[in-house]
Amino acid sequence: MTGLTAFLIWHFNIAWASTAPGETLGPPINEALVSADDSLTDSDRSRPQVDESGRERVTLQLPWYPQFQFAGYYAALERGYYRDAGLDVEVRHTGSGTIANPVEEVIFNRAEFGVSRSDLLVHHSEGLPVAVLANIMQRSALTFLTLERYGFDRLEEIGDRPVSLPLMENGEEHLDWEILATLYAAGVDPEQLNNASPNWQVEGLIDGTTQLLPIFSTTLPYFIRQYGEEPVEIHPSEYGIDFYGDLLFTHQQLIEQRPALVKAFREASLHGWRYALTHIDEVAELIDQRYETQHAGYDIELLREEAQQLIALMQPELIEIGHINPTRWEAIAHTYQSLDIIDEYDLESFLYSPERVPLANDGFPNVWRWAMLALSILTVAVALAFYLHMMNRELRREMQRRKSAEDALRHQAEKDGLTGIDNRRLFEVRLQQEFDRARRHGRALSIILFDVDHFKRFNDSHGHLLGDQVLIQIATVTQAVLRSCDHFARYGGEEFVVVLPDTDLAEAGMIANRIWQANREHRVVTDSLVVGYTLSLGVATISLSDKHGHDLLQRADTQLYRAKESGRDRCCKAE
């Protein structure tokens, strides 16, 4: 027994030993938890507890203080979605002296539902009977935070710097598997780190007590900037660790014995999330007025800022809130396996499906239930094997369809529909990333902004279909002369832009001339026409006065305008 299972046993025994005379905590852990699945009898979980209005009482355990990270649950509570589902929900928080691990709370029947992260798969692989009900964040908010003045932006550069990561002391197992997976992927040995247990406060980062903290990217960078510091985030995705963020989970027995309750709670919670993300100001005000946040600095403006960060992680415009993608979980499981964090896993019992029919609550102990099920399977082996074959084939098809749909939606959100190159939205992200990197390391960065000369006249003379062909072929011709590190995008209409990392003005000018020459010599051939076109280009490089990537873009635009004013079909550089 490893990981959280061992930790739960240790924690329970400590609590048992410290119980005052006359208090009742329960039997010692060696009696109460022979296995995690025996921590609660069938009748205990299936027995409904109702309030005076006839609604069933359930508890949701959150892992942190009140903040917009949990807005959907607050909205479901305040808007009456839980009440309408026949539920009386208590939302519990962690913090301010109340330390509660959601996994532990659910396993020991102190809560019916909890919020966790992708680490839950590791706990499940170790034998804890937990199951994911909904993936709330499609991307993890976990990141590593340091300050620009500490002079590093890669985990490999930590060396003997003081860090504060949630790793248990004395060689015991860690508490955060996503952090450990990232360290392993970066080739960093956790045992060699100059590590102290984190207190999750920014002051230690500011005064140098620590130079690296694990944080949720939705909030802490905001506070760092209030101190006048420049935060530097190191994302696990930079090392191939692309996990889910917050997820809603429960005990497997509750799914088996109370499927209607589980389904009702899940649907009401997701209804709350849909409301929260479309009524940000209202829900932010609700949290600010009704809930005790971590400290006074957690104001309404931060709640709004956190909401926007959260939307980027949840991607509700691309993926249905709560969607569980088995293919993505397979990838996460394989990542854990490749890093020797888990051996075996069983996604069928780990991932909840509202359509899955639970075992009947016949009152028999689990061992007899499974024995009877095995006997039934033997009597219908051939028919069941065929049925499962067909179901598995359909499931694989559905998984592939959903993955294809997610990929298609992501492509639509990031790629230009006509040319297939990056769109303006992705360009804005790339520009700021490269601008921040150039600033941190004192590197060169240049931009080429160009468009098609007299394109409106061209469209009026030859038609929009041929105009579209010109734009498509410009993208193809231009990509052929760019480097693999360059970011090429359609900025809008007939305008294109290229971000050139580690490139000074002289080199950027040479690349711009290649683009200009290649397109000038190119011809668009149709059944009845052979047409040429020319480009006007503006080039600019990063300046010490630039505060944002858009400052650089503005100067490239000025040079583009100068090229047009000078007669078009040429390239102008900001000297």
**What residues are paired with 163 via a beta bridge?**
195
91 vs 265: CA distance, rounded Å: 12
Q: Is 345 helix (H, G, I), strand (E, B) or coil?
A: coil
Point out which residues pair with 499 in neighbouring strands: 447, 487
Contact 117, 246 (CB under 8 A): yes
Residue 351's nearest CA partner among 261, 252, 273, 272 is: 252
Q: How many Cβ atoms are within 10 Å of 280's Cβ, its own excluded? A: 18
Are residues 209 and 161 in contact, defined by beta-carbon separation less than 8 angstroms?
no
Q: Return the half-sphere exposure (C-beta side, CA atoms, 13 A cut-off) of residue 421.
A: 25
CA dist., res. 95 & res. 298, Å (int): 14
Q: Catalytic pick from 494, 495, 521, 565?
A: 494
Task: Match 């060699």 to its residue by tokens.
Answer: 192
Q: Of 106, 115, 91, 100, whose CA–CA distance to 11 is shortest?
A: 100
Closest CA to 72 of 270, 248, 308: 270
- Which of 119, 3, 7 lies closest to 63, judged by CA? 119
Place of tokens 């949630």: 166
Residue type, 181: A
Q: Are strands 162-163 and 130-135 parallel, antiparallel or unpaired?
A: unpaired
Is 575 a catalytic site residue?
no
Beta-sheet pairing, 87-92 with 162-163: unpaired
Q: Tokens 């009704």 appear where?
A: 290
Residue 535 phi, psi (nearest 5): -125, 150
DSSP assignment of 498-553 equals EEEET--HHHHHHHHHHHHHHHHH--EE-SS-EE---EEEEEEE--TT--SHHHHH
Query: Which positions are annotated as active-site residues?
Result: 494
